[in-house]
Structures are given as structure tokens and as C-alpha cells.
């Protein structure tokens, strides 16, 4: 779940939003301004409804960020790094870079979010009661109190990968089952919860509540897909465990001299041999990497006059990995850098290359033997 826009950092954690979040922000604001607040607080002007609705929507999604921060703070305390928090169509997600090491860690990380939301619900509810004489201020607090309590309770449902599903996985894991088995059981319960949502959504649509039914059914479909994807990720992690880049790397790679013109590089390597990238160097030493992106950054009429050494990306600026890095680390680094291959560097010297294609081929082969 990548962020379309980053708002900043809280406690060193990047906070961003996926494109789908902006649609939901607009829909929530519209729903509050045209439905909830006019029905609950009649007599305000249209402008007041919209201003209060916009503020309430932003505070609601701020509450979602605080919910995710609850997970993230505990995760970091448990030694699990957190890459970012991203808002999206169904709320928010903490991008935790690896699974918790123990069942106890899993339980504490999972329970932190719902407890945070329930705490926010109590605080906002009390604030709404104190501000009752000033309806325009009390209205957002009352709504946020209710919605945070709902968010906390809803996330306790055992619909993996909701927080309740992760709590269920932690409990199964703690009873002596291995992590993969616990995930499979929690995922199966998550599928059941998802189907209940889908059936409820269909029932709502049949009874005439089309928009509500569609939303509930869509939520069920999302939970079903997420439960399956979460289990498959665990299976994938099992296949990667213990495998290092050294075992999969290629020790031969295309090398071009730094004085070769770009037009010759394109003709002899890119077009003729189908090599979309090459190392640049001579006498066994690698100075950099030249890719299609580097070539296209130079206007084509200048290709005969520009050399690979001039157009390349220096090796120090190229995303790298070490031969001893795990397969998961290498894939993560490729994703972060948006590249399809990485040089493997040891003691300042390139000793091999690993590509995404090699890693995926290995995973496909391993999957044929997985039970």
C-alpha cells in the first residue's frame, strides 16, 4: 500500500495517503454535511454544516492515524520496524516490515490499535458532554466519540487481517501451533467473517438499501482478499527463509567500457542482445551502471557524442545488496528503489548480480514442492 502523498512524520514514521483516501474523505464530508449533522442538529446554515463536516472528517482520519500509531509504537518497542502509515479507502494501515517474533509480541501489537481507538472514543465522548452547551463544538466530539468506539470494537472482530484476527492468530500461535498454521486458521476464520459481510450486503441490497449493501459487500470482498493475501505472504516468507542472495546470484554480467558511445551501446547490447542494463567498467573494475533510463535521459541526436561513462549512474549511487542478505531483504530493497536487479557488493567490489526474475523463478520452482 504505497502513499500517493506524504503529509509528514510523527515519531519518525512517515504519514501518507493513498489516492483512494481522498475519495473517501470527500464522501464522508458530504455524508456528514448533507445527512448526519442536519438530522442531528437542525437549524444551522449550510455553510456551518459543511465547515463542521470537513473538520470532523479530518479529525476522524486523524483518529485513524492515532489508531495506527498505537500499533506502530508497540511494534517498534517489540523490535519490529515500521516503514510508514498510509491512509486508504478502508481506513489506515501500518506498514510493518516483518512479522512479530513471538505470539506475545503479535498480541501486544494487535491489541494496541483497538485499545487506542476505544480510549479516543471515551475522551471524545467526555469532551462532547462538556461542550454540550455549544452544539457546533459538541457535534464533532460526539460523532468522533461514537465512531472511535465503533472503530475499536469493529477491529476486534476475528476477521483476519483485522486486529481481532491477528489477536486470534496470536492466541493459536501461543497454544503451540507454528506461525504458518496459526495464520492459516486465522485466515480461514477471516474468510468466514468476510462471507458474513458479503451476505449482509446482499441482504441490504435486496431490501432496497443499495448503497449501504454495496459498501458492506465490498468490505466483505476486501476482507476475503486481504485474508488470502496475508496467508500467501506467510507462505512466501517460509519459502524465502534462510535463502541468501549469494545462492541465487549470477556471477557473469554484461560490462561495457566507459568510452563506448551510447548509439553503439543501444545497437550492440540493448537491441541486439536484449540487455536493458549493463555495468560500466574495465579491467575487472565496475564504475557504474547504465540503464534504459540513463540512456533515455540523453537526447537521441547526442548519442554518438555521449559515452556510457558520461551517462551512467555511479556505482555508489546505485541501490545495492550484500551476498549475505536474505532473499526477502533483497526483494524489499528492489521494491523500495523501483529496480529489477541489484549489484551484490562485498568489500567495495561487485561480486555478483541478482534480478527480480531470478528470485521469482526460484519462488515458482519452490512452490511446486510446497504442501
Which residues are annotated as catalytic? 68
Total residue length of the chain: 371
DSSP state of 277: E
Cα–Cα dist 47/56, whole Å: 14
Write the Ramachandran bin of 79: left for phi over 0, alpha for psi from -120 to 50, otherwise beta. left
Query: Which helix (H) or strand (E) covers residue 283, if one does?
Result: none
Cβ(63)–Cβ(155) below 8 Å: no
The per-residue DSSP string of 224-240 comes to: HHHHHHHHHHHHHHHHH
Q: Determine how β-strand 13-17 pairs with β-strand 82-88.
A: parallel
Which 3-state string (H, E, C) describes 176-196? CCCHHHHHHHHHHHHHHHHHH
Give φ, ψ of 314 to 5 degrees: -55, 145
Give φ, ψ of 224 to 5 degrees: -60, -45
Nearest to 348 by CA among 257, 292, 287: 287
Grid cell 574495465 is found at: 282
Cβ(315)–Cβ(265) below 8 Å: no
Amino acid at each position: 500500500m504505497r502513499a500517493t502523498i506524504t503529509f509528514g512524520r510523527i515519531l519518525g514514521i512517515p504519514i501518507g495517503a493513498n489516492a483512494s483516501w481522498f475519495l473517501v474523505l470527500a464522501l464522508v464530508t458530504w455524508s456528514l454535511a448533507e445527512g448526519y449533522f442536519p438530522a442531528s442538529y437542525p437549524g444551522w446554515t449550510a455553510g456551518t454544516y459543511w465547515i463542521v463536516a470537513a473538520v470532523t472528517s479530518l479529525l476522524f482520519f486523524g483518529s485513524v492515524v492515532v489508531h495506527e500509531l498505537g500499533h506502530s509504537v508497540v511494534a517498534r518497542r517489540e523490535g519490529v520496524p515500521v516503514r510508514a502509515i498510509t491512509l486508504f479507502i478502508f481506513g489506515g494501515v501500518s506498514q510493518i516490515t516483518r512479522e512479530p517474533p513471538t505470539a506475545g509480541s503479535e498480541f501486544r501489537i494487535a491489541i494496541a490499535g483497538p485499545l487506542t481507538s476505544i480510549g479516543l472514543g471515551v475522551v471524545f465522548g467526555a469532551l462532547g458532554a462538556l461542550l454540550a452547551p455549544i452544539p457546533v463544538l459538541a457535534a464533532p466530539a460526539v460523532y468522533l466519540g461514537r465512531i472511535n468506539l465503533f472503530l475499536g470494537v469493529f477491529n476486534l472482530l476475528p476477521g483476519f487481517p483485522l486486529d481481532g484476527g491477528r489477536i486470534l492468530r496470536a492466541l493459536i500461535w501461543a497454544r503451540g501451533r507454528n506461525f504458518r498454521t496459526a495464520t492459516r486458521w486465522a485466515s480461514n476464520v477471516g474468510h468466514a467473517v468476510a462471507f458474513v459481510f458479503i451476505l449482509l450486503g446482499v441482504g441490504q441490497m435486496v431490501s432496497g438499501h443499495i448503497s449501504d449493501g454495496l459498501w458492506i459487500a465490498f468490505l466483505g470482498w476486501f476482507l476475503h482478499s486481504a485474508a488470502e493475501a496475508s496467508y500467501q505472504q506467510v507462505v512466501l516468507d517460509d519459502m524465502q527463509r534462510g535463502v541468501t542472495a549469494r545462492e541465487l546470484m549470477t556471477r557473469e554480467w554484461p560490462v561495457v567500457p566507459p568510452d563506448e558511445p551510447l548509439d553503439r551501446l543501444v545497437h550492440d547490447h540493448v537491441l541486439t542482445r536484449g540487455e536493458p542494463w549493463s555495468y560500466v567498467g574495465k579491467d575487472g573494475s565496475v564504475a557504474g551502471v547504465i540503464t534504459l533510463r540513463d540512456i533515455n535521459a540523453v537526447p537521441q541526436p547526442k548519442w554518438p557524442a555521449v559515452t556510457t561513462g558520461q551517462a551512467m549512474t555511479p556505482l555508489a549511487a546505485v541501490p545495492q545488496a550484500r551476498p549475505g542478505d536474505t532473499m526477502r531483504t533483497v526483494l524489499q530493497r528492489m521494491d523500495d528503489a523501483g529496480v529489477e536487479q541489484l549489484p551484490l557488493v562485498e568489500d567495495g567490489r561487485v561480486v555478483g548480480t541478482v534480478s527480480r526474475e531470478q528470485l521469482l523463478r526460484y519462488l515458482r520452482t519452490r512452490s511446486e514442492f510446497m504442501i
